[in-house]
Amino acid sequence: MGGGGAGEVIVPYRDNMPEVLDKFASRMAGVLIEHMKRTDTDKTGEGKVVEFVTPDELRKKLELNIEKDPATLDTLFSDVQTTLKYSVNTSHIHFFNQLFAQVDAIGVVGEWITSVINTSMYTYEVAPVFILVEEYVLQKVGGLLGYSNVDGIFAAGGSQANLYAMLLARHRFFPHVKKEGWRPEDRPVVMVSEHSHYSTLKGCIIMGLGTDRCIPVKCDERGRMDPAALEAKVNECKEKGFHPFYVCGTAGTTVLGAYDDLNALADVCQKHKLWLHVDGAWGGAAILSPAQRHHMKGIERTDSFAWCAHKMTGAPLQCSLFVCNNAKGMLQEANGTRASYLFQPDKLYPMEYDTGDKSIQCGRKVDCFKLWLLWKARGDAGMASLVDKAFASAQGLAAAVERREGFEMVAPQQCTNICFRYVPKSLRDKPKEEQDAVLDKIAPKVKRDMQLDGSTLVGYQRLGNLTNFWRMIIVNPSFTDKDIQWFLDTIQTYSERVVDEK
pLDDT tens digit sequence for 57-96: 999 999 899 988 888 888 888 999 999 999 999 989 899 9
| Domain end (from 365, 391, 413) | 365
CATH number at residue 319: 3.40.640.10
In a domain, 65, yes or no: no
In a domain, 311, yes or no: yes
Do 260 and 360 share a domain, yes or no? yes
Q: What is the pLDDT of residue 502?
A: 60
Q: What is the pLDDT of residue 347?
A: 92
Helix axes of 432-453 and 481-501: crossing angle, nearest 10 degrees: 110
Q: Using CA atoms, how far apart are residues 309 and 315, in angstroms rounded to an integer?
A: 6
Q: What is the pLDDT of residue 70?
A: 84
In a domain, 33, yes or no: no
In a domain, 349, yes or no: yes
Q: What is the pLDDT of residue 13?
A: 64
Helix axes of 368-403 and 128-145: crossing angle, nearest 10 degrees: 40
Do 191 and 264 share a domain, yes or no? yes
Q: What is the pTM of this model?
A: 0.93
Do 349 and 292 share a domain, yes or no? yes
Do 169 and 140 share a domain, yes or no? yes
Do 388 and 340 share a domain, yes or no? no
Q: What is the pLDDT of residue 8?
A: 46
In a domain, 32, yes or no: no
Residues in the chain predicted with pLDDT less than 50, given as ranges, are 1-9
Of all helices (H) and strands (E), which one includes residue 471?
strand 466-473
* Structural domain range at position 287: 120-365
In a domain, 50, yes or no: no
| Domain end (from 334, 365, 396) | 365
Do 281 and 169 share a domain, yes or no? yes
Answer yes or no: are the C-beta atoms of 420 and 400 closer than 8 Å.
no
Do 418 and 305 share a domain, yes or no? no
In a domain, 211, yes or no: yes
Q: What is the pLDDT of residue 1?
A: 37
140 torsion bin: left (phi>0), alpha (psi -120 to 50), beta (else)? alpha
| Domain end (from 365, 391, 408) | 365
Domains in the chain: how many in total?
A: 2
Do 125 and 235 share a domain, yes or no? yes
Do 264 and 386 share a domain, yes or no? no
Q: What is the pLDDT of residue 330?
A: 96
For the segment 353-366, what is each residue's pLDDT rounded down to a tens digit?
999 999 999 999 99
Do 342 and 382 share a domain, yes or no? no
Q: Are strands 417-422 and 466-473 parallel, antiparallel or unpaired?
A: antiparallel
Do 348 and 385 share a domain, yes or no? no
* Other residues' Cβ atoms within 10 Å of the Cβ of residue 182: 15
In a domain, 12, yes or no: no
Do 352 and 383 share a domain, yes or no? no
